[in-house]
Amino acid sequence: MATTAIEIPRTRYPVERFTLDNGLRVVLAPDRSAPVIGVAVVYDVGIRSEPEGRTGFAHLFEHLMFQGSANLEKLAHFRHVQGAGGTFNGSTHLDYTDYYETLPSNALERALFLEADRMRGPRLTEENLRNQVDVVKEEIRVNVLNRPYGGFPWLKLPPVMFDTFANAHDGYGSFGDLEAATVPDAEEFFKKYYACGNAVLSVSGDLDVATAKALIERHFGDVEARPAPVRPDFDEPDLTAERRESYVDRLAPLPAIAAGWRMPDPATDIEGYLAYVVLAEVLTDGDASRLVERMVLKDRSVTSVGGYIGFMGEPFEVRDPTAFILQAHLPPDGNVDTVLATMDEELERLANDGLAQNELDRTTARMATHLLRDTDPVLGRALRMAVLEQQRGDAALLNELPHLLASVTMEQITTAAAALRPHRRASVEVKPGKGK
């Protein structure tokens, strides 16, 4: 790949990889600069893995994993992590679910015990299930139903862009599906997807590799060996004609529009994929970016515009199919057709005229800086390495990403811009309604 005028060096985080006899993949990244560790366990199950009739189940199950485990009562995980001076959480994504802690390094064994214990089995009781269904329903009320632009566009755009249940359904879930969940459903979900053969354990920070390996073998080595399930192929044909839908949001004060296009597969065409990652920033990051300068500052056709990769904004933690997304909020008298036409004009201008080298260099340098900042904390490093190991089979790709971003060329950017044509576009419009 040709290089730009700037050169972003590769990072040199050490990476140790091995696999236990039960199939658990392990990534270690020692860094003795501070007495802190980040521990992450990533399971290869996310929103796209949910069966029909069980929308929201992946997120619900993330909650259930905090309700006690094989040897610990409810809330014990919280008490043991916080009692050691640590923090913890978990999150559900399109393609994976993660669980993680940051702790003083002398609490490494505690974190490993806690994660291994719930990998053996969470406490799947009727009481825990009903309680957490209510918690998730309240999240939906707060984050979607009673919030302006709730679910826009990450829940609203996929059903316009895709046709299959896996790619198009509501990942937060319907109240009906959540309430219909049973303990046997949860037990089946755990047995299928929470196998150690379907997980990656990542530890980064102040650790001795030999000691860490021995502790991991001690706590995870006797977890039941279950193989990873066969992952379905979620691919769909690209659009050949534009799709547009709209809906009324009674709480939204202003109209909004989000448009998405399919992108190259990040696993098989990393160079082509990264061109779109950079293109999103060229178009929308900062006052000097193409669309902000044109639409916000000059035409004033929108009040804000943004561009990003993936419905959850995770360019380096997503599989195919994913999307390049542009979204904008409009003034009260704004015109959605004008906004889409302006986006098309700027994409065509970029495809035909290219961009200045300093514009590209400025953008890639800023992106590489943000990437380096995100992976400087030991937990950020552990999480990203775990996902890269799971999805790409290469945790050390973390060291290459800043350099690869800075190696994207002007020709690759213009090729990507030229591919974002209206006939390949799916868009969803928010029409403001009258709030109660």
DSSP string, 105-167: GGGHHHHHHHHHHHHH-B---HHHHHHHHHHHHHHHIIIIITSTTTTTTTTTSHHHH--SHHH
**% of the chain at pLDDT higher than 90:** 93
Same domain (yes/no): 348, 401? yes
Same domain (yes/no): 143, 279? no
Q: Do residues 168 and 158 make contact, with C-beta atoms less than 8 angstroms apart? A: yes
Domain count, the chain: 2
Same domain (yes/no): 206, 289? no
**What pLDDT was estimated at residue 2?**
43
Q: Do residues 44 and 199 make contact, with C-beta atoms less than 8 angstroms apart? A: yes
Span 242-264, mean pLDDT? 97
- Our CA angle for 4, 269, 384, nearest 5°, is 85
Same domain (yes/no): 262, 370? yes
Same domain (yes/no): 214, 249? no
pLDDT digits (tens, 9 = 90+) for 386-427: 999 999 999 999 999 999 998 999 999 999 999 999 999 999
Span 152-174, mean pLDDT? 97
pLDDT digits (tens, 9 = 90+) for 291-304: 999 999 999 999 99
Asked whether residue 171 is assigned to any structural domain, the reply reads yes
- Is the four-CA dihedral 374, 378, 380, 382 of positive or negative sign? positive
This prediction has a pTM of 0.95
Asked whether residue 402 is assigned to any structural domain, the reply reads yes
**What pLDDT was estimated at residue 102?**
98
Asked whether residue 2 is assigned to any structural domain, the reply reads no
Name the strand (E) or helix (H) holding 390: helix 378-392
Spell 284-319 as b/e; 16+ CB within 10 A means b.
bbeeebbbbebbbeeeebbeebbbbbbbbebbbbbb
Asked whether residue 11 is assigned to any structural domain, the reply reads no
Neighbouring residues of 166: CB distance < 8 A, sequence distance ≥ 6: 48, 49, 50, 232, 234
Fill in the amino acid letter for 155.
Answer: L
Asked whether residue 5 is assigned to any structural domain, the reply reads no
Same domain (yes/no): 37, 171? yes
Same domain (yes/no): 214, 74? yes
Full residue range of the structural domain in which residue 41 is found: 16-220
**What pLDDT was estimated at residue 9?**
79
Span 68-97, mean pLDDT? 95
Span 16-25, mean pLDDT? 98
Is pLDDT of 436 > 90? no
Of 19, 88, 110, 116, the closest CA to residue 393 belongs to 19
Neighbouring residues of 220: CB distance < 8 A, sequence distance ≥ 6: 20, 22, 24, 112, 116, 119, 196, 201
Span 109-119, mean pLDDT? 97
Asked whether residue 225 is assigned to any structural domain, the reply reads no
Same domain (yes/no): 401, 291? yes
- Pick the last residue of a domain from 189, 220, 251: 220
pLDDT digits (tens, 9 = 90+) for 322-352: 999 999 999 999 999 999 999 999 999 999 9
**What pLDDT was estimated at residue 316?**
92
Is pLDDT of 83 > 90? yes
- Pick the last residue of a domain from 220, 253, 286: 220
**What pLDDT was estimated at residue 323?**
97
- Pick the last residue of a domain from 186, 205, 220: 220
Name the strand (E) or helix (H) holding 353: helix 336-353
Span 303-312, mean pLDDT? 96
Same domain (yes/no): 304, 408? yes
Same domain (yes/no): 96, 169? yes
**What pLDDT was estimated at residue 435?**
52
Same domain (yes/no): 187, 122? yes
Domain CATH number, residue 55:
3.30.830.10
Is pLDDT of 368 > 80? yes
**What pLDDT was estimated at residue 191?**
96
**What pLDDT was estimated at residue 427?**
98
Is pLDDT of 64 > 60? yes
Asked whether residue 235 is assigned to any structural domain, the reply reads no
Asked whether residue 3 is assigned to any structural domain, the reply reads no
Is pLDDT of 253 > 90? yes
Is pLDDT of 5 > 80? no
Neighbouring residues of 65: CB distance < 8 A, sequence distance ≥ 6: 90, 99, 118, 122
pLDDT, mean over the chain: 95
Same domain (yes/no): 165, 281? no
pLDDT digits (tens, 9 = 90+) for 217-252: 999 999 999 989 999 999 999 999 999 999 999 999
